[in-house]
């Protein structure tokens, strides 16, 4: 049974049979905004929604030492905030992003995640202590306007979901009015074991660099 994550919930990465969850995917499924208008409501208007699922990694001194975010972010823009260019693989290859989806589902929920980060905790560098997953909307819309968006952790591969471990809904709710960024959660090491903290904090950050700054300032353990 998938755990419905509640904000602030901490979970051990253990499956029902007690086996540790070490290889899994973090995926986000969302839809474009579709409205009907015109004569008899036959005219459809579609607003593409470009959510970006990203992650950043910190060592035990609280220094950001690796990252995964879209290579489509302009290098000049990122460098203004002191951020390195985007990439889809972590340094050791332990985490991998399937690629930047710029639109969201059109024509209804296809049930598949639009952006996925695969995680293999056994290959994460020993210096890494915390891995934060977060979501930004590159457009103007806030999460309350998006028809659906959910983040889940599952076993399997990006193309085959075997078992959904945990899920978190982040859209179509008035509490997300004005919010365009969401710090989904953090994987953190405690006594050599990885655990997950479902942060679930939403913000009005206009772009990814502001969310990274926020994580650095307020969420990293030192």
The binding site for Ca ion (CB under 5 A) comprises 29, 50, 52, 100-101, 105, 110, 112, 114
State in angstroms the smallest separation of the CB of 143 from Ca ion.
Answer: 14
Strands 115-120 and 181-190: unpaired
Q: Which two tokens stand for residue 82?
A: 């002191």
Whichever of 110 and 193 has its CB closer to Ca ion, that residue is 110
Q: Report the nearest approach of Ca ion to the CB of residue 148 (Å).
A: 9
Q: Which is nearer to Ca ion, 29 or 129 (CB)?
A: 29
Tokens 């969201």, located at residue: 104
Could you give the CA distance from residue 97 to residue 167 in angstroms, rounded to a whole number? 19
Nearer to Ca ion, 18 or 111 (CB): 111
Shortest distance in whole angstroms from residue 116 CB to Ca ion: 10
| Residue (114 or 130) nearer to Ca ion, CB | 114
CA-to-CA distance for 158 and 114, rounded, in angstroms? Answer: 10
Task: Between 86 and 185, name the residue whose CB sits nearer to Ca ion.
Answer: 86
Phi, psi of 208 (to 5 degrees): -55, -40
Least distance between Ca ion and beta carbon 138 (Å): 7
Task: For the CB of residue 26, give the shortest distance to Ca ion in the complex, in Å.
Answer: 14
Site of tokens 């009907």: 36
| Contact (Cβ atoms closer than 8 angstroms) between residue 182 and residue 63 | no
Cα(106)–Cα(99) distance, integer angstroms: 18
CB of 189 to Ca ion, least distance (A): 29
Is the Cα torsion angle 161, 53, 75, 220 positive or negative in sign? negative
Q: Which is nearer to Ca ion, 29 or 130 (CB)?
A: 29
Helix or strand holding residue 77 (H, E): helix 75-80
């Amino acid at each position: 049974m998938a755990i419905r994550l509640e904000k602030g919930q901490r979970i051990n990465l253990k499956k029902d049979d007690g086996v540790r969850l070490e290889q899994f995917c973090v995926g986000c499924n969302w839809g474009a905004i579709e409205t009907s208008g015109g004569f008899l409501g036959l005219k459809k208007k579609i607003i593409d929604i470009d959510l970006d699922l990203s992650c950043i990694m910190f060592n035990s001194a609280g220094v950001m030492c690796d990252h995964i975010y879209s290579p489509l972010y302009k290098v000049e823009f990122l460098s203004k905030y002191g951020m390195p260019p985007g990439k889809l693989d972590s340094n050791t290859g332990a985490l991998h992003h399937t690629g930047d989806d710029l639109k969201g589902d059109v024509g209804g929920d296809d049930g598949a995640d639009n952006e996925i980060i695969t995680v293999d905790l056994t290959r994460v560098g020993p210096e890494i202590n915390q891995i934060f997953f977060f979501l930004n909307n590159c457009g103007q819309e806030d999460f309350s306007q998006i028809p659906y968006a959910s983040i889940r952790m599952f076993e399997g591969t990006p193309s085959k979901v075997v078992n959904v471990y945990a899920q978190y809904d982040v859209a179509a709710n008035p509490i997300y009015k004005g919010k365009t960024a969401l710090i989904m959660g953090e994987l953190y090491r405690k006594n050599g074991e990885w655990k997950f903290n479902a942060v679930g904090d939403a913000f009005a950050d206009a772009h990814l660099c502001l969310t990274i700054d926020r994580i650095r300032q307020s969420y990293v353990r030192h």
